[in-house]
Amino acid sequence: MNERLRTLPSVDALAGITPEAARYPHRVVVAEARRVIEAARQQLLAGIDPPSDLSAELARALERLRNPSLRRVINATGVVLHTNLGRAPLPPASPFGLYSNLEYDLEEGKRGKRDAHFAPLLERLLGSAGIAVNNGAAAVWLVLREFAAGHEVIVSRGELIEIGDGFRIPDIMAESGAKLVEVGATNRTRIEDYQRAITARTRLILRVHPSNFRIEGFSGSPTLEELAALASERAIPLYEDLGSGNLWDLSAWGIDEPTVAASLKAGAGLVSFSGDKLLGGPQAGIIAGRAELVERVRRNPMYRALRLDKLAVAALARTLRATLLESWDELPALAMIRQPLKALYARAQRLASAVNGELMEGESVIGGGSTPAQTLPAWLVALPGDAIRLESRLRRGDPPVIARIENGRLLIDLRTTGPEEDQTLLEAVQRALLPA
């Protein structure tokens, strides 16, 4: 047996003899090669002959990552509202025809789970299990409901935030049935505050990342590593609501936000984050972390009420696949953030020249409750004329154009418009500038 194990290629060797590997990021190829070799090793140990061509196995594994698992299927069962095939069939404009394998395992020929279309991608990106519900607030509510209903959750006073449209973390916690235990002060919380607050009724330590505000000056809080050590010592899960959902280091483009992987590495047992912020995908609340904790959340009866529909599943899987394969231009939000300033200048200059506008330096913002006080350099076009009148005419046009007024001037920021929209935008601005 040992002799046969020694015949298995190294990761580098397998990657090197697989021609298809050149089409994928090196780290993805290495990870999949390691999986293929480990699978062959386990088969040998079990007395089963592994595939003879591991290079072909690696090529197939890489191809599976590129191709969506949620696919069109032909429903020949005679069941119109087939639960495993996505229930009601969608119009032809849907991404996968009338039916899909939403909850059907095509390999095994039996019922599957809709998580299967995005959970393996999350695992590859984060090294952790993951599920998704319909938004970030639902993710927070569900975690608190599962782990702390009728019991206590410890959270810093400086993290009792409002997340938008009047929804506040304390209110969500109250609705979950968890009892909020506030520690520290608004601006400073110490690890000793958490230690003193733990009782026999404590079921969770919660940290809320301030993704939509900043406290500056005389402020401070324990590191995530300190909280993780305390949680481990007291056998209490540590849960972080990370908010903006940054899966990739975007510091090269001026975005200073912690990554989900860093939080998990620091010791958080569970992390939740939004799908439609820095991740650049559909509205979703993603819950990732230790497999046994994620599984507990998944088994909560309310998970079914909050889970994603088939269109959101398809969109989330597409987003995660593009992230894994570093296909940034497939994610419009990431493409806008990464847009070179030189390209913005050229587009803004053309528009300014065509409408007699003023080309000026300025700033774009990320928005969406993410990266407060962080901006991106931009080139703007200030339109001539009455800003209020122009703003109204653009907004009421066809198509509507939404611009912003600063210092009494109407500004056009091309960072958030696609190059393919430049001609349409130009025509809309020209119509707005016509005499009333």
Distance CA 271, CA 261 (A): 9
Give me 225's structure tokens: 């590593």
Count of beta carbons in the 10 Å neighbourhood of residue 325 = 17
Do 255 and 333 meet the contact criterion of CB atoms below 8 Å apart? Answer: no
How far from the centroid of its chain's Cα atoms is residue 415's Cα?
21
Pick the closest to residue 288 from 148, 124, 149, 160 (CA basis): 124
Residue 227, helix vs strand vs coil: helix
Do 131 and 297 meet the contact criterion of CB atoms below 8 Å apart? Answer: yes
Distances (CA, A) of 367 to 248, 277, 333, 373, 374: 18, 9, 11, 10, 9
Band of pLDDT at residue 97, cut at 50, 70 and 90: confident
What are the tens digits of pLDDT across the range 282-320? 889 999 999 999 999 999 999 999 999 999 999 999 999
Helices 26-45, 54-66: axis angle to 10 degrees equals 130
Band of pLDDT at residue 368, cut at 50, 70 and 90: low
Give me 249's structure tokens: 């280091």
Do 316 and 308 meet the contact criterion of CB atoms below 8 Å apart? Answer: yes
Distances (CA, A) of 28 to 22, 43, 338, 396: 11, 23, 22, 47
Report the pLDDT value the prediction gives residue 390, as an integer from 0 to 100. Answer: 93
Pick the closest to residue 143 from 285, 258, 256, 7 (CA basis): 285
Mean pLDDT of 89-105: 80
Distances (CA, A) of 95 to 72, 73, 91, 193, 276: 8, 12, 9, 51, 19
- CA geometry: angle 84, 88, 92, nearest 5 deg: 110
- Lowest-pLDDT range, 68-82, 252-266, 351-365? 68-82
Report the pLDDT value the prediction gives residue 98, as an integer from 0 to 100. Answer: 82
Report the pLDDT value the prediction gives residue 109, as an integer from 0 to 100. Answer: 94
Report the pLDDT value the prediction gives residue 163, as an integer from 0 to 100. Answer: 67
Q: What share of the chain is helix, strand, coil (3-state, %, to 5)?
A: 45, 20, 35
Band of pLDDT at residue 213, cut at 50, 70 and 90: low
What are the tens digits of pLDDT across the range 311-328? 999 999 999 999 999 998
Q: How many helices (H) and strands (E) does the chain have?
A: 17, 17
- Lowest-pLDDT range, 123-127, 295-299, 403-407? 403-407
